[in-house]
Amino acid sequence: MKNKAPKPDKEIYRQLRTLPWAELWSREKARFDQGSAEERRARVAVVRAVGVVFAESGQTGQRQEVRRWLLNLLHDPCEKARRYAMAALPKIGAAPEDEAQLISVLRAATSAREKKFAGLALEKVGGPATLNLLKSGGAQLLPQTGQKVKARLARAEKPSAIRLENALAELKDLRIHLRTRRGLEVILREEVEASAKGGGKFHPAETSGGLVAVTPTGPFTLGDVLQLRCFGSVGFLLGHVPLVNHSANLEGLAGLVASVLSLRILRGLTEGEIRYRLNYVAQGHQRGAVRQLASRIYALCPEILNDGRKVTWTVDIFPVAGGHGAELRPNLTPDPRFLYRQADVPAASHPPLAASLARFAGRVADEVVWDPFCGSGLELIESALLGGVRQVYGTDHDPAAIAISRGNFAAAKIKAVPARFIQGDFRDFARLESMGAGDVTLIITNPPMGKRVPIPELARLIEDLFDVAAKLLKPGGRLVFANPLLSEQRHPLLQLQDRQPVDFGGFECRLERHLKLSG
């Protein structure tokens, strides 16, 4: 079957879309204005192009002129011109008074398509008058229009925030999902168990690939959860619904998000209006499903607002056997646990991975820690935060990495631990620092690897790392690193103690801990 030829209107828009703003406005807009009714209908794509191109490269000083032109087009005899003008107005920054004109167009509209466009424009520029119109039932607007307007007004008036120190009580049956890289769940569970022994407020309930589910032992805060460092995201499980049919699934998921449990969490941990976005995990784009589910949630509970920008909560919908699950995930950006991360280098460790490496290394008293490829310095920071460290060293061949490591370590405010960062090859570290055998108790590192930092002789690099570690480590000291090689490299003075396969985003790596033997 031959591909259909593009519609003339779409082809004209594609051509206009590539024009510089000045040419589009001075030539094409003028041509459109001066054309006959038939010529204007043929080139109505000019209106659409003006909204898009102005948003990208238009001159701020012309905003009012462009706005007046679009407002006039709201009353154009050509319905398509009116619709395109409605869509373009929010893009150029419509003024609050434009709401009245859009409502006037909505009232006068006779086609469902024109009413839809007016409603979509009011979602972006509407205010109290639009909400009053919805309450009165004086115009056919989609339910989502009301929540979009409310969410936008709430966002503009007072941004919402997550309350880290508000306590949630009487939720002992609540399951909290701590998610991490697949393979790190073993280390995360050990962290949860160690925390519980030390008075922590959570017990592990279930462990699976990339997930540790915990339950609270009593009242807790989100700040209590954030005492744990080896997870990437936290979610509060709302429940599961069986996949019977589309309508039942939609109703079940909406009921979970608007449930008593959900509202207790949202109200308890949110300052300001409760705004969220829906995320179908690993299920591709689900725009239609998102619209339907958000509308149904709003019908059940108008207090919580679906929004696409700067939200405090994400509702994750994820597949489970025979149905779907739903959980509430607070958006913690930047993550309060890792505020020391002032800057980064390409392919550097993520903080939860660095924290997992540090915990995997274990701890002995009076540690001297060295990272041969320090990158952003995260492994050294997380090791020092665990305690028991007397001195840290970091080396990297990149001067930018050394500067970033110094800045991040200073931002971590670990004043009791001296830190030295030295530019150079890790093989020269002992000579540069006059280090002797037995001076280092822990070598911890995430070597450069992957597509963003290609290493032509990675196997030789790892081999040299073993050799240097065998020379510098104190007997009983450890080499802990992420090994990207599947080959079984060994050194007679280094004994493999533990190995944990971990998903590094497309390829498997192995966290390894080697013990330095007495030579």
pLDDT in tens, 128-141: 888 888 777 756 67
Contact between 445 and 372 (Cβ < 8 Å): yes
* Residues 190 and 128 placed together within one structural domain of the fold: no
Name the pTM for this structure: 0.84
How many C-beta atoms lie closer than 10 Å to residue 290's C-beta? 18
More confident residue, 431 or 339: 339
Q: How confident is the model at residue 7 (pLDDT cuts 50, 70, 90)?
A: low
For residue 327, the cross-strand partners are 237, 316
Mean pLDDT of the chain: 90
Residue-level pLDDT at 435: 79
Q: What is the tens place of the pLDDT at every residue in 447-485?
A: 987 545 667 788 899 999 999 999 999 999 999 999 988
CATH number at residue 394: 3.40.50.150
* Residues 214 and 323 placed together within one structural domain of the fold: yes
Q: What is the tens place of the pLDDT at every residue in 55-83?
A: 888 888 888 899 999 999 999 999 999 99
Does the pLDDT at position 241 exceed 60? yes
Q: What is the tens place of the pLDDT at every residue in 285-333?
A: 778 888 899 989 998 998 999 987 889 999 999 999 989 999 999 999 9
Contact between 512 and 496 (Cβ < 8 Å): yes
For residue 516, the cross-strand partners are 494
Does the pLDDT at position 280 exceed 50? yes
Coil/strand/helix, residue 496? strand
Domain end residue (candidates: 295, 330, 365): 330
Residue-level pLDDT at 454: 65
Residue 112 falls inside a structural domain: yes
Mean pLDDT across 344-360: 92
Q: How confident is the model at residue 510 (pLDDT cuts 50, 70, 90)?
A: very high
Residue 185 falls inside a structural domain: yes
Q: How confident is the model at residue 519 (pLDDT cuts 50, 70, 90)?
A: low
* Residues 295 and 403 placed together within one structural domain of the fold: no
Q: How confident is the model at residue 508 (pLDDT cuts 50, 70, 90)?
A: confident
Residue 154 falls inside a structural domain: no
Does the pLDDT at position 1 exceed 50? no
Residue-level pLDDT at 455: 72
Q: What is the tens place of the pLDDT at every residue in 113-125?
A: 998 898 888 888 8
Taken as a whole, the chain contains a residue count of: 519
Contact between 71 and 59 (Cβ < 8 Å): no
Question: How many domains is the chain partitioned into structurally?
Answer: 3
Question: Which sign, positive or negative, has the C-alpha torsion 223, 225, 226, 232?
Answer: negative
Residue 240 falls inside a structural domain: yes
Residue 455 falls inside a structural domain: yes
Closest CA to 393 of 363, 367, 413: 367
Contact between 118 and 106 (Cβ < 8 Å): yes
Q: How confident is the model at residue 95 (pLDDT cuts 50, 70, 90)?
A: confident
Does the pLDDT at position 2 exceed 70? no
Residue 469 falls inside a structural domain: yes
* Residues 307 and 433 placed together within one structural domain of the fold: no
* Residues 286 and 310 placed together within one structural domain of the fold: yes
Residue 101 falls inside a structural domain: yes
Q: What is the tens place of the pLDDT at every residue in 101-111?
A: 898 888 888 88
Q: How confident is the model at residue 189 (pLDDT cuts 50, 70, 90)?
A: very high
Is the backbone of residue 370 left (phi > 0), alpha (psi -120 to 50) or beta?
A: beta
Residue-level pLDDT at 92: 87
Q: How confident is the model at residue 490 (pLDDT cuts 50, 70, 90)?
A: confident
Does the pLDDT at position 504 exceed 80? yes
Domain end residue (candidates: 269, 303, 330): 330
Q: What is the tens place of the pLDDT at every residue in 15-37?
A: 999 999 999 999 999 999 999 99
CATH number at residue 277: 3.30.2130.30
* Residues 354 and 305 placed together within one structural domain of the fold: no
Does the pLDDT at position 213 exceed 50? yes
Residue 275 falls inside a structural domain: yes
* Residues 313 and 346 placed together within one structural domain of the fold: no
Rounded (5°) CA angle 53-54-58: 120
Residue-level pLDDT at 15: 92
Q: How confident is the model at residue 10 (pLDDT cuts 50, 70, 90)?
A: confident
d(CA 459, CA 463): 6
Does the pLDDT at position 5 exceed 60? no
Does the pLDDT at position 420 exceed 50? yes
Segments forming the whole domain that contains residue 240: 176-330
